[in-house]
Amino acid sequence: MPLPSAGRFLAMTVLIAGGGIGGMALALSCHQVGVPAVVLESVREIKPLGVGINLQPNAVRELYELGLADELAAIGIEAEEWALVGRNGRDVWSEPRGTGAGYRWPQFSVHRGELQMLLYRTVLERLGPDAVRTGHRVVSYETTADGVAATVLDRSADEMVVFDGDVLVGADGLHSAVRAQMYPDEGAPIWGGAVLWRGSTLGPPIRTGASFTLVGNLEQRFVTYPISQLDPTTGMQLQNWIAELTFDPSVERRSSDWNTRADEGEFLPAFEDWVFDWLDVPALVASTDEVFEYPMVDRDPAPAWVDGNVALLGDAAHVMYPVGSNGASQAIVDGRVLVARFVELGVGRAALLAYESELIDDMSALVLRNRASGPVSILGVVEERCGGEFDDINDVIPRDEIESFMAKYKEAAGFAIDALNAAPPIVSSATA
């Protein structure tokens, strides 16, 4: 196997496969506690790809701990409301979010690509320009006497190089090569029949101007939330939208990739009459330049995230349906938990195992909970009880029943209000 062209990386302590949200946030957390890290990212150039995502208060807290409060406010918008609306246009549920709900930290809605670029820029500033190796695809790993050796395709030179480190963290997302080596028989992610079409476009404010809205039922729904502040001159803000339809999962669909372009003709006819006095679905979609398709997939929970001195993190560890807005948040939190264990136990297998045992059971349960529609499954109850037809939702399902259901979801996803507010920092400032 050829030797690395840049020998200085032989001594890197933490090798991170993947410079997405989880990988970049982990690099910043390593730097915060004085642990050297290098990010090996497959793409040649990191670009602001994706559309909107939400950062829950548990993740926002960690980004604030990393000193990114002002930067986050500059690229995102604080979410104020989360609302489920029946196909008849009437509210099923609405609750405040972020500080308005009593959290000490806000919830942010942001463009995924803007967040990735913010983390990337910050990694370069704080760790130095060599800390992110773009065009470096991790191909395989091998446990060594001192730690781990990662074999990496340097795409520019078109040659294999080897990076040695104490540990390797697979933060390489949905189609993780690190996970594929751990579980060679696992195959592709599992598609359950739902397809998401996503886009963002300028539009007038919806409800509070900082509301997440989901209209529809379990088989067909439309989601909106803004990902920019209102422009006072134009009265517009960037609206993120997601249209979802359900198909027969036994009929094959093209494989899941976050960046597949799609034609609105594939789904828009099904939403043709989704026009309410506060939302015009066909108009919003028609004003969108680029539409992306994502067949919604997940993976069965993995029995372990650690193999030798290698661990999985973020989507590589626990990719889940994006129904609870917690994929990016959990990727960030994973890295904080891992770094706290580095501080406690040193950079090695013991820390990886402690990280795994702290998170794996809860995350495996969350994957399955989200497969069953997560917080949105309450719409299934409404369908069951009244076929989606109601004048007053209280006649169908009492408010306290939904309230306790939502509280349980937040607890399972790690952002129960009182517990989060009372919890000590994951990475204590004494160690930073």
Ligand X SMILES: Cc1cc2nc3c(=O)[nH]c(=O)nc-3n(C[C@H](O)[C@H](O)[C@H](O)COP(=O)(O)OP(=O)(O)OC[C@H]3O[C@@H](n4cnc5c(N)ncnc54)[C@H](O)[C@@H]3O)c2cc1C
Residues that bind ligand X (CB under 6 A): 17-23, 40-43, 49-51, 53, 112, 137-138, 171-173, 177, 198, 258-259, 314-316, 322, 327-328, 331
Give the CB-nearest residue to ligand X: 20
**Of 21 and 63, CB closest to ligand X:** 21
- In angstroms, rounded to a whole number, what is the distance separating the alpha carbons of residues 113 and 121? 12
C-beta closer to ligand X: residue 158 or 392: 158
Q: How far is the CB of 43 from ligand X (least distance, A)?
A: 5
CA-atom Rg of the chain in angstroms: 22
Q: Which of 210, 209, 221 is nearest to 245 (CA)?
A: 221
- Cα 51 from Cα 258, distance rounded (Å): 9
Residue (98 or 170) nearer to ligand X, CB: 170
The answer to whether the beta carbons of residues 55 and 66 sit under 8 Å apart is no
The residue type of 42 is S
What is the smallest separation between the CB atom of 324 and ligand X, expressed in angstroms?
11
CB of 235 to ligand X, least distance (A): 25
C-beta of 401: minimal distance to ligand X in Å? 28
Phi, psi dihedral angles at 284 (to 5 degrees)? -65, -45
| Strand residue runs (E) in 108-210 | 108-111, 132-133, 136-143, 148-154, 159-165, 167-170, 190-203
Nearest approach in angstroms of CB 315 to ligand X is: 4
Residue 232 or 261: the one with the smaller Cβ distance to ligand X is: 261
| Nearest residue to 23 (alpha-carbon basis) of 228, 176, 202 | 176
Q: Pick between residue 296 and residue 378 the one whose CB is nearest to ligand X.
A: 296
Q: How far is the CB of 284 from ligand X (least distance, A)?
A: 16
Inter-helix orientation angle 327-345/349-371, to 10°: 160
User: What is the DSSP code (8-state) at residue 93?
Assistant: E
The count of residues in the chain is: 432
- CB 272 to ligand X: min, Å: 25
CA distances from 116 to 112, 183, 341 (A): 6, 28, 25
Amino acid identity, position 212 = F
In the complex with ligand X, which residue's Cβ is closer, 366 or 393? 366
Q: Which two tokens stand for residue 157?
A: 């030179």
Minimal distance in Å, beta carbon 169 to ligand X? Answer: 10
Judged by CB, which is closer to ligand X: 49, or 230?
Answer: 49
N-term to C-term CA, the chain: 38
Give the nearest distance from C-beta 240 to ligand X in angstroms. 8
Strands of the 310-312 sheet, one edge to the other: 132-133, 37-40, 14-17, 167-170, 310-312, 306-307
The least CB distance from residue 410 to ligand X, in Å, is 18
Q: How many CA atoms lie within 13 A of 11 on its CB side?
A: 4
Give the pair of three-digit tokens for residue 155: 């795409």
**Closest distance to ligand X from the beta carbon of 12 (Å):** 15
Pick from 41, 43, 23: which is nearest to 311 by CA?
23
Which residue(s) pair with 148 in the sheet?
143, 165
Round to whole Å and give the CA distance between 89 and 76: 28
